[in-house]
């Protein structure tokens, strides 16, 4: 039986948070509506963060209210604190994605809290979300390395995952925020986490900053992970992580998993059409190796002289 995978499209949040040009609210809504037709399990629509921290997503309320929700797609939003959770309750995403870092310095730089403060905050958010019937996934940033602190001890990631699972996390996403992960490290941490928090679905979130994105995705897949974040066109990056660049591109993830016989539910042609519209969306060229080359069975007309030289 081929494995069924869940693809979570994060470009409207992880992608647009990093773009320099202002993307109008109506264009974001049209973009998310086009993504909704592609067959994703989840779409991360926006973030309920401080508009001072992430000005490009200050229109979170309008975007969440403006999109057309398609049955079968879960619409999520990133939340860093209680204020964000209150905004989410009003906007009614299907799930929220809480965030903290596995490393101390990135947590302080990104969220202006210590890890201990973030953990306490997220526990409080999860308690409040239970009352509001809002499932909470938690993303652990910098789980494979931190641009400030360097190596991150896997035992610290595991301890945080356990604490979050005990506090009621509906899922945990392990994030390679600045593309520091490598395949054997990914396999090892994914295996350990599955043992540490059995029954809590794990997602892997990869950035392709050093060209190891797909290799890391395959390592996670081989270690048993079946939920993947991706950003169409390879958009993305954390503005508070020096050297951050785009996520692994969703179209390349889907193309790879199609090739090895997995079922992602995502229509590659529809997705590539959306990627083709993204340069206009963000006002700069957006592409990926796959978007340029086309799927592996793309066929070209043979040179015109062949028929003359080889008539049969
Ligand atoms: N949504 C909207 N506004 C918020 C908010 C939220 N979730 N949380 C705080 N604010 C507002 C406060 O109301 C306050 O507003 P004021 O200055 O008008 O009074 C201001 O932001 C500062 O509040 P404070 O609690 O002191 O927050 P902070 O300045 O210490 O910032 C975070 C903490 C977490 C809100 C901020 O660092 C943040 O949003 N980070 C997100 C980073 C991110 O998304 N990175 C990329 C994804 S990994
Ligand atoms: Zn990211």
Asked whether the whole model's pTM tops 0.75, one would answer: yes
What are the helix (H) ranges across 96-153? 104-111, 115-131
Q: In Å, how far are 66, 91, 194, 200 from 132, measured between CA atoms? A: 22, 12, 28, 20
The CATH number of the domain holding residue 188 is: 3.20.20.70
Extract the tokens encoding 161.
């995952």
The answer to whether residue 1 sits within a structural domain is: no
Question: What is the per-residue pLDDT for 1?
Answer: 65
The answer to whether residue 117 sits within a structural domain is: yes
* Low-confidence residues in the chain, pLDDT < 70: 1
Q: In Å, how far are 100, 145, 213, 261 from 161, measured between CA atoms? A: 11, 16, 22, 31
Residue in the structure block whose two tokens are 């954390």: 238
Question: What is the per-residue pLDDT for 312?
Answer: 84
What are the helix (H) ranges across the chain? 25-36, 60-66, 82-91, 104-111, 115-131, 154-166, 183-196, 213-222, 250-259, 268-276, 278-282, 289-293, 306-309
Pocket residue to mutate for ligand 1, from 14, 47, 49, 78, most atoms within 8 A of Cβ: 49
Buried b (16+ CB within 10 A) or exposed e, 174-196: bbbbbbbbbbebbbebbebbbeb
Pocket residue to mutate for ligand 1, from 13, 17, 19, 50, most atoms within 8 A of Cβ: 50
Q: Tell how far the Cα of 302 is from the centroid of ligand 2, in angstroms.
A: 42
Q: For residue range 201-218, what is the model confidence (pLDDT) as tens digits?
A: 999 999 999 999 999 999
Q: For residue range 83-112, what is the model confidence (pLDDT) as tens digits?
A: 999 999 999 999 999 999 999 999 999 999
First to last CA, the chain: 42
The ligand 1 atom at the shortest distance from the C-alpha of residue 79 is 7
Q: Tell how far the Cα of 217 is from the centroid of ligand 2, in angstroms.
A: 14
Question: What domain range is 34 assigned to?
Answer: 6-309
- Give the torsion sign (CA, 150, 181, 118, 80): positive
Q: For residue 161, what are the contacts with CB-CB under 8 A and spacing of at least 6?
A: 140, 172, 174, 193, 196, 197, 200
Q: Tell how far the Cα of 110 is from the centroid of ligand 1, in angstroms.
A: 10
The answer to whether residue 28 sits within a structural domain is: yes
For the Cβ of 81 lying below 6 angstroms from any atom of ligand 1, the answer is yes
The answer to whether residue 274 sits within a structural domain is: yes
Q: Tell how far the Cα of 46 is from the centroid of ligand 2, in angstroms.
A: 13
CA dihedral 99, 212, 265, 68 (to 10 degrees): 40
Q: State the Cα–Cα distance between residues 48 and 67, nearest whole angstrom.
A: 16
- State how many domains the chain has: 1
**Beta-strand runs (E) in 12-83:** 42-47, 74-79
Burial class of residue 35 in the structure, from the number of CB atoms within 10 Å of its CB (0-12 exposed, 13-18 middle, 19+ buried): buried
For the Cβ of 54 lying below 6 angstroms from any atom of ligand 1, the answer is yes
For the Cβ of 49 lying below 6 angstroms from any atom of ligand 1, the answer is yes
The answer to whether residue 208 sits within a structural domain is: yes
Q: For residue 280, what are the contacts with CB-CB under 8 A and spacing of at least 6?
A: none
Question: What is the per-residue pLDDT for 90?
Answer: 96
Take atom 47 of ligand 1 and give the residue whose Cα is closest.
238
The one-character DSSP state at 303 is: P
The answer to whether residue 298 sits within a structural domain is: yes
Q: State the Cα–Cα distance between residues 104 and 291, nearest whole angstrom.
A: 37
Ligand closest in space to the Cα of 99: 1
Beta-carbon count within 10 A of 30 CB:
15
């Amino acid at each position: 039986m081929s494995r069924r995978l869940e693809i979570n499209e994060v470009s409207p949040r992880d992608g647009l948070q990093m773009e320099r040009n202002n993307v109008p609210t109506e264009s974001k809504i049209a973009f998310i509506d086009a993504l909704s037709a592609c067959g994703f399990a989840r779409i991360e629509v926006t973030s309920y963060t401080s508009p001072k921290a992430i000005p490009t997503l200050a229109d979170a309320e309008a975007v969440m209210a403006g999109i057309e929700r398609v049955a079968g797609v879960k619409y999520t939003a990133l939340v860093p604190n209680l204020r964000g959770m209150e905004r989410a309750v009003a906007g009614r995403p299907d799930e929220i994605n809480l965030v903290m870092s596995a490393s101390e310095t990135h947590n302080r730089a990104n969220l202006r809290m210590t890890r201990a403060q973030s953990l306490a905050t997220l526990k409080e958010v999860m308690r409040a979300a239970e009352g509001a019937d809002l499932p909470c996934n938690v993303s652990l940033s910098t789980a494979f390395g931190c641009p400030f602190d360097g190596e991150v001890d896997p035992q610290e990631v595991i301890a945080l995952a356990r604490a979050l699972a005990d506090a009621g996390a509906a899922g945990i996403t392990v994030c390679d925020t600045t593309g520091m992960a490598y395949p054997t490290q990914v396999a090892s941490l994914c295996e350990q986490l599955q043992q540490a928090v059995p029954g809590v679905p794990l997602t892997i979130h990869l950035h392709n900053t050093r060209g190891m994105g797909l290799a890391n995705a395959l390592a996670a897949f081989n270690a048993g992970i079946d939920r993947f974040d991706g950003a169409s066109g390879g958009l993305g990056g954390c503005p508070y992580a020096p050297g951050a660049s785009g996520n692994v591109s969703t179209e390349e993830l889907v193309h790879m998993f199609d090739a090895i016989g997995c079922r992602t539910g995502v229509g590659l042609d529809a997705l590539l059409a959306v990627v083709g519209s993204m340069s206009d969306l963000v006002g700069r060229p957006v592409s990926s190796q796959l978007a340029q080359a086309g799927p592996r069975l793309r066929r070209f007309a043979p040179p015109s002289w062949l028929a003359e030289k080889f008539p049969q």
